[in-house]
Amino acid sequence: MAKINFGGVEETVVTRDEFTIEKAREVLKDELVTVIGYGVQGPAQALNMKDNGINVIVGQAPDFKADWDKAVSDGWVPGKTLFPIEEAASKGTIIQYLVSDAAQRSIWPLLKSCLNEGDALYFSHGFSITYKDQTGVIPPPDVDVILCAPKGSGTSVRRNFLAGAGINSSYAVFQDYTGRAEERTKALGIAIGSGYLFPTTFESEVYSDLTGERGVLMGALAGIMDAQYQVLRQNGHSPSEAFNETVEELTQSLIRLVDEKGMDWMYANCSATAQRGALDWRPKFRDATLPVFVDLYNKVKSGEECKRVLESTGADNYKDMLEEELKELRESEMWLTGSEVRKLRPDN
């Protein structure tokens, strides 16, 4: 494993050069990987492994017709490589449990009954194991319990794979029954198309992931955009101008410079006026939001966010409530404006 210095802190990572796809195939040559759930992460991980020559089948509830039909359209064959969940789980030696966190709790009794001694139970999120007191997901002692968590959506995992790149992933071993758990995990991480793998624990993965999603990656980003757009509109700026200054310039220009060489490089390639203002106001936003992030992390660590997730997503009318919330977001002036702005991009 490679030793990499990250900002003065040395970490050990697994690269594709040292743990090659050929090595992954050798480690997994006698395994049958069953991907349970064809919703968010399932399609990308299953298709990437299939394309990498790994023996894979999919388990999906036929009642969820959209996901079942998507699996069929992606080339999975009912009765051969696509089965109902219980049948698929009973066939596999590695069970990738990729349904939603709420669904993991619901179907756990069924899945647990399908596990055999020496199997591996694989997660891409530490949620169910870390909060096992609330989820009831307690694996039997005679299986490996492992994790590989891509740091991106399923869409990005597949898109980057097809482009020859990869999404970096964390990996962890919670329970090593066979003595091969870590090797299995690394092989699966490479097989699903990871750029490189870095070690974590189930707890660390879920604490950082829930904080990130609710924070910078989604919740904070959307909230800050809402606030800036509102201030611009209240001060007489047009919807187009407010959207371009709030969203379009960020997503189409600046964030790409950050991705390329870092935040300092983005600052260096903006006007002197922009540099000065950004440097002056950065600590103000940091200090204003720091208490919110502290509160957020504490609620994640205490299990309060887990309780909120399980109660809300487990409600019978959750999909209806979700659609109402997404509709409100989608039909807000800012995002209706965004829809029109995207149509005017030169590549459309």
Annotation says 125 is catalytic: yes
What is d(CA 155, CA 70) in angstroms, rounded to the nearest whole number? 14
Backbone angles phi, psi at 13, to 5 degrees: -130, 160
Gyration radius from the chain CA atoms: 22
Q: Which residues pair with 96 in a beta bridge?
A: 35, 122
- Of these residues, 105, 125, 186, 233, which one is catalytic? 125
Work out whether strand 167-175 and strand 194-199 pair parallel, antiparallel, or are unpaired: parallel
- Element containing residue 157 per DSSP (H, E): helix 154-162
| Predicted local distance difference test score (pLDDT) of residue 128 | 96
Beta-ladder partners of 170: 149, 198
What is the per-residue pLDDT across 263-308, written as a single tens digit (0 to 9) for each? 999 999 999 999 999 999 999 999 999 999 999 999 999 999 999 9
Identify the burial level of 166 via C-beta atoms within 10 angstroms of its C-beta, where 0-12 means exposed, 13-18 middle and 19 or more buried. Answer: buried
Q: Write the Ramachandran bin of 99: left for phi over 0, alpha for psi from -120 to 50, otherwise beta.
A: beta
Q: Is residue 138 within 8 Å of residue 132, measured between CB atoms?
A: yes
Inform me whether the pLDDT recorded for 248 exceeds 90. Answer: yes
Q: What is the pTM of this model?
A: 0.90
For residue 144, what are the β-bridge partners?
120
Residue 64 to residue 68: CA distance in whole angstroms? 6
Q: What is the pLDDT of residues 125-143, one digit of tens each?
A: 999 999 999 999 999 999 9
pLDDT tops 90 at residue 2: no
User: What is the residue-wise DSSP string for 72-86?
Assistant: HHTT--BTTTEE-HH
Spatial contact of 196 and 16, defined as CB atoms under 8 Å apart: yes
| Contact present, 106 and 100 (Cβ < 8 Å) | no
- Euclidean distance between CA atoms 139 and 122, whole angstroms: 11
Q: What is the DSSP string of 81-125?
A: TEE-HHHHHHH-SEEEE-S-HHHHHHHHHHHHTT--TT-EEEESS
What's the mean pLDDT in 298-320? 93
Spatial contact of 339 and 252, defined as CB atoms under 8 Å apart: no
Q: What is the pLDDT of residues 19-74, one digit of tens each?
A: 999 999 999 999 999 999 999 899 999 999 999 999 999 999 999 999 999 999 99
Whole-angstrom distance, CA of residue 341 vs CA of residue 323: 24
What six digits make up the tokens of 239?
């919807």
- Return the pLDDT at 10: 85
Interatomic CA distance for residues 267 and 250, integer angstroms: 13
Tokens linked to 330 = 């989608």
Domains and CATH numbers, the chain: 2-201 (3.40.50.720), 215-343 (no CATH)
